[in-house]
């Protein structure tokens, strides 16, 4: 069978990263976290440019020494040989990432890198090396980066479920004050992101999976069911 490309988009806290990783692992596919690429671009821009200077940020991202690890069991992010997997998840980076992601030249450059990775994992080279394909997740994979993907899923969840999940992830708790502290990182960021990417409503041909009332395993199974239908 020829390699498969699975595109998964969704808002923050929808569970798309953990679900995408599990789907990739289950099917023996590579895994690409495009959000991690925007986060790495933010770290690199903070280190080598002035975030307020769009042209400087574009130039910085154009020479960013980024290497993405595609193993779903241990996806890596390296900048200039440095492991930045933890740095890219800090509050400071999360707060700044939407600004960098709203730069259309940055988006064009990251789309080019993402497309190259997807082609490498699904094209002739992959066929020759026995590669089975890739799961790529983010905000604009089903619409812009891989509208031609074999499987396209929009993973959504209620605002309440998304706040609770992100709060547990970041603070290890989901009481009122922890949830409140997560609001900027979830709701404000989604609002800013929605200005440049369309991930709140499914585009034509994209299957919506609502995980509000599903646990993790059920969500993975729901996505696997979509994959099974289409491939
Ligand atoms: O998914 P994650 O929360 O790691 O994404 C971080 C940020 O990267 C998002 O808030 C958004 O600004 C940006 N992003 C994007 N397009 C994608 C993936 C992420 O603009 N395909």
Looking at ligand 1, which residue's alpha carbon is closest to its atom 8?
35
107 CA: nearest ligand 1 atom = 20
- Chain-centre distance for alpha carbon 68: 12
- Chain-centre distance for alpha carbon 177: 27
Q: Which two tokens stand for residue 178?
A: 């922890």
Is the pLDDT assigned to residue 1 strictly greater than 80?
A: no
Contact in structure between 150 and 230 (CB atoms under 8 Å): yes
Q: Which two tokens stand for residue 88?
A: 């890219």
Instruction: Say which residue, 183 or 82, is predicted with more confidence.
Output: 82
Q: Is 97 touching ligand 1 by the criterion CB < 6 Å?
A: yes
Give every CB contact of residue 10 below 8 A, 6+ residues apart in sequence.
16, 137, 139, 154, 155, 156, 157, 199
Instruction: Say which residue, 96 or 174, is predicted with more confidence.
Output: 96
C-alpha to C-alpha distances, 82 to 51, 87, 152, nearest whole angstrom = 21, 10, 33
Give burial (CB, 10 Å; 0-12/13-18/19+) of 193. buried
Instruction: Say which residue, 65 or 174, is predicted with more confidence.
Output: 65
C-alpha–C-alpha distance, residues 39 and 165, integer Å: 20
Looking at ligand 1, which residue's alpha carbon is closest to its atom 2?
35
What is residue 75's predicted lDDT score, i.e. its pLDDT? Answer: 95
Mean pLDDT in residue range 117-141: 96
Would you say how long the chain is, in residues?
Answer: 231
Measured in Å, residue 98 CA sits from the centre of ligand 1 at 7
Q: Is 140 touching ligand 1 by the criterion CB < 6 Å?
A: yes
Is the pLDDT assigned to residue 100 strictly greater than 90?
A: yes
What is residue 178's predicted lDDT score, i.e. its pLDDT? Answer: 86
Probe ligand 1: pick from 36, 66, 139, max atoms within 8 Å of CB? 139
Is the pLDDT assigned to residue 184 strictly greater than 90?
A: no
What is residue 169's predicted lDDT score, i.e. its pLDDT? Answer: 86
Measured in Å, residue 128 CA sits from the centre of ligand 1 at 32
What is residue 171's predicted lDDT score, i.e. its pLDDT? Answer: 86
Q: Is 42 touching ligand 1 by the criterion CB < 6 Å?
A: no
Give every CB contact of residue 68 below 8 A, 6+ residues apart in sequence.
32, 33, 36, 37, 75, 76, 77, 78, 117
Q: How confident is the model at residue 225 (pLDDT cuts 50, 70, 90)?
A: very high
Q: Is 193 touching ligand 1 by the criterion CB < 6 Å?
A: yes
The CATH H-level (homologous superfamily) assignment of domain 4-230 is P-loop containing nucleotide triphosphate hydrolases (3.40.50.300)
Q: Is 139 touching ligand 1 by the criterion CB < 6 Å?
A: yes
Mean pLDDT in residue range 212-231: 95
Q: Is 137 touching ligand 1 by the criterion CB < 6 Å?
A: no
Percent with pLDDT over 70 in the chain: 100
Contact in structure between 173 and 182 (CB atoms under 8 Å): no
Measured in Å, residue 67 CA sits from the centre of ligand 1 at 17
Q: Is the ipTM of this complex over 0.90?
A: yes
| DSSP label of 63 | T
Q: Is 114 touching ligand 1 by the criterion CB < 6 Å?
A: no
Q: Name the average pLDDT for the chain.
A: 95
Q: How many CB atoms sit inside 10 A of residue 162's CB?
A: 23
Measured in Å, residue 114 CA sits from the centre of ligand 1 at 13
What is residue 185's predicted lDDT score, i.e. its pLDDT? Answer: 85
149-183 pLDDT, tens digit each: 999 999 999 999 999 998 998 888 888 888 888 89
């Amino acid at each position: 069978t020829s390699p498969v490309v699975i595109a998964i988009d969704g808002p923050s806290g929808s569970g798309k990263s953990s679900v995408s990783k599990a789907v990739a692992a289950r099917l023996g596919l590579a895994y690409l976290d495009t959000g991690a690429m925007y986060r790495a671009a933010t770290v690199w821009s903070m280190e080598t440019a002035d975030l307020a200077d769009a042209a400087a940020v574009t130039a910085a991202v154009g020479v960013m020494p980024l290497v993405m690890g595609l193993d779903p069991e241990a996806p890596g992010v390296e900048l200039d040989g440095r492991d930045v997997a933890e740095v890219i998840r800090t509050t400071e980076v999360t707060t700044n990432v939407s600004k960098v992601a709203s730069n259309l030249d940055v988006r064009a450059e990251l789309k080019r890198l993402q497309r190259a990775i997807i082609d490498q994992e699904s094209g002739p080279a992959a066929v020759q090396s026995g590669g089975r394909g890739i799961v790529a997740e983010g905000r604009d994979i089903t619409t812009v980066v891989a509208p031609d993907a074999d499987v396209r899923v929009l993973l959504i969840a209620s605002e309440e479920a998304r706040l609770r999940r992100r709060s547990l992830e970041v603070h290890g708790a989901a009481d009122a004050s922890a949830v409140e502290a997560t609001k900027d990182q979830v709701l404000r960021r989604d609002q800013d992101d929605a200005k440049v990417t369309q991930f709140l409503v499914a585009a034509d041909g994209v299957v919506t999976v609502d995980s509000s009332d599903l646990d993790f395993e059920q969500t993975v199974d729901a996505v696997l069911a979509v994959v099974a239908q289409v491939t």
